[in-house]
Structure 1
Amino acid sequence: MTVASGDGGRPIDPGTRIGHVHLKVAEIERALGFYCGVLGFALTQRFGGQAAFVSAGGYHHHIGLNTWESAGGSPPPPGTTGLYHLAILYPTRAALADALRRVEAAGIPLDGASDHGVSEALYLRDPDGNGVELYRDRPEAEWPQDSRGGLAMVTRRLDLDALRRER
């Protein structure tokens, strides 16, 4: 595979961040029930029954939801390209534990729960079948290192009972 670069491969500015994700959904109300009702995002703006924007902490929006091309639609079938998952970063382990309790109280099943060494993550699906990762990063000083001092990410089973006890 050839990777094209307009300037010889100079890295992107390290301050660059992903600002938001915009999801096609079948029903705005159902999507808002999940993102606002279960996860706790705040509705910041709405365009009738066709689009809504939600955020955490007063930002203009972290997640856009729309039915412009997907009203009444179904998730794409396996074997197609598209979004694998969106990842929501929680600031603390206690905040991630709160998210787990919210998801469980809503009866939403987890697809998985992993300890990656650098992070702890919960995996699930929103009502439209979009993959959602809820995670928290460990402090960089705790990240696992390989024998040469490089990053050594792992995938282990996350202890959900211990996470549930986190306050």
Structure 2
Amino acid sequence: MTEARIVPVESPNPPVATGTRIGHVHLKVADLDRALGFYRDVLGFQVTQRYGDQAVFLSAGGYHHHIGLNTWESRGGSPPPPGTTGLFHVALLYPDRPALADALRRLVEAGLALDGASDHGVSEALYLTDPDGNGVELYWDRPVAEWPVNADGTLAMVTRRLDLGALLADAPARAA
């Protein structure tokens, strides 16, 4: 398989340093405990620090935080209406397919509906909305060597239906 290559768009500035990543997302929420019910109790992120009823920081694997939630400007607020600017979704990258399958199992067990599920060739993704109306993408990346490419070697992402039954079958067994 031909390896995908990224074709940069002309820019007057040099590109950002290789290895730069998005470290965390901080979301304004209306109700901190309701948001915790989703991010901690359903998705499984661990609380690393809490500031009373105003803010909480959550992590996967002991990092200081991947997700910050606060009510500083949003307590009791409502999501932005459609047609306005703002966050489209936050994408949470899982390390492999079984970990994404476990996330799907958690959503099913919690009775939460998906907004969509796609195989993009480079990744498999689940889409849903958190309790505050924020879009959430849960996904895993295939190895780069498996990414689809065009004849000229450029990336050829697709959007196909993701087989949720097959994904669930890859969920690891729960510890007793």
TM-score range, shorter chain: over 0.9
Question: Partner of 2:30: helix, strand, or coil?
Answer: coil
Q: Distance in 2 between matches of 1:46 and 1:166?
A: 34
Instruction: Say what the alpha-carbon RMSD is for the aligned residues.
Output: 1.2
Q: What TM-score do you get using the length of structure 2 for normalisation?
A: 0.90
Question: Partner of 2:105: helix, strand, or coil?
Answer: helix
1:87 aligns to what?
91
User: Mind listing any 5+ residue stretches in structure 1 that lack a counterpart?
Assistant: none
Once the two structures are TM-superposed, the CA of residue 50 in structure 1 deviates from its matched residue by: 0.5
Q: Which amino acid aligns with 2:103?
A: A
Aligned structure 1 segments of 4 or more residues deviating by more than 4 angstroms:
none
Query: Does 1:98 pair with 2:97?
Result: no
- Give the one of 19, 23, 28 matched to 1:19: 23
Q: Which amino acid aligns with 1:16?
A: T
Alignment of 1:32-43 (within 5 A): 32-43=36-47
Q: Which amino acid aligns with 2:60?
A: A
2:163 aligns to what?
159
Q: What TM-score do you get using the length of structure 1 for normalisation?
A: 0.95
Q: Distance in 2 between matches of 1:61 and 1:164?
A: 28
2:121 aligns to what?
117
Question: Partner of 1:122: helix, strand, or coil?
Answer: strand
Q: How many pairs are equivalent?
A: 162
Query: Does 1:146 pair with 2:150?
Result: yes
Q: Specify which structure has the bigger relative contact order, considering alpha-carbon pairs within 8 angstroms and separated by 6 or more residues.
A: 2
Query: Does 1:131 pair with 2:118?
Result: no
Once the two structures are TM-superposed, the CA of residue 9 in structure 1 deviates from its matched residue by: 1.6
Q: Which amino acid aligns with 2:18?
A: P
